[in-house]
Amino acid sequence: MKYPKLRELGEAVKSLFSKPYTTKFPKVAHEGFDGFRGKPEFFDEYCVGCGACTQVCPAGAIAVIDPEIIRKDNKSAPKRKLELRYDMCNFCGNCEAHCITEKGVQLTKKYDLALMDRKLAVETIEKELVVCEMCGGTVTTIDHLRWLVKKLGTLAYGNPTLLLVSQRELIPVQSGRKGEELRRPDILKVMCPKCRHKVMVKDIWG
């Protein structure tokens, strides 16, 4: 019969009186360590609804949903919805790393994500949209424009849409003047890039 070595024996006795290495999960919720990549969540105060995170998500877990038709008679402002399906997420951290504000979406320490219904595994955020005064198309979100103005500083004055945003609090604009000619004075209007191109190139330069 082999006798246990003294060192192993000492370790065994020591372990009887020391704290366990493992956590008491699920009895006591385990706190993720710093840098833990858990459930990604949107943070309303930092997210501007630009949609950049959708472009870098390798799993296609984030979607930007804009209303298809922005009704003229709709009194409430149209909204962009961002949906993050964390059941599709691979926790790579790309969305957080490439978020234009750096904090709009963050990987939290939440890891206990099991659900009975996968449809519930979704994080959403809504942002007010700015629509083109000419065609009623989507420009971007109002928070995104404000963020651009702040980022560009005085350079924002080079773009009339940004100029208007920096000068006043935007109100929901009446969308659509479809079919009507674009005119030079239309330069000073909130516009999508397509209509601005028409005004600048077609109207001014013919």
**Residue 63 lies near ligand SF4 (rule: CB under 6 A):** no
Nearer to ligand SF4, 79 or 177 (CB): 79
- Which residue from 70, 82, 162, 192 is in contact with ligand SF4, where contact means CB under 6 A? 82
Residues in CB range of 33: below 8 A, 6 or more apart: 109
Binding-site residue total for ligand SF4 (CB under 6 A)?
29
- Which residue from 67, 91, 126, 146 is in contact with ligand SF4, where contact means CB under 6 A? 91
- Which residue from 39, 78, 94, 145 is in contact with ligand SF4, where contact means CB under 6 A? 94
Nearer to ligand SF4, 53 or 156 (CB): 53
**Residue 89 lies near ligand SF4 (rule: CB under 6 A):** yes
Nearer to ligand SF4, 11 or 44 (CB): 44
Nearer to ligand SF4, 146 or 177 (CB): 146
**Residue 111 lies near ligand SF4 (rule: CB under 6 A):** no
Q: Which residues bind ligand SF4 (CB under 6 A)?
A: 40, 42, 47-53, 56-59, 61-62, 82, 84, 89-95, 99-101, 104-105
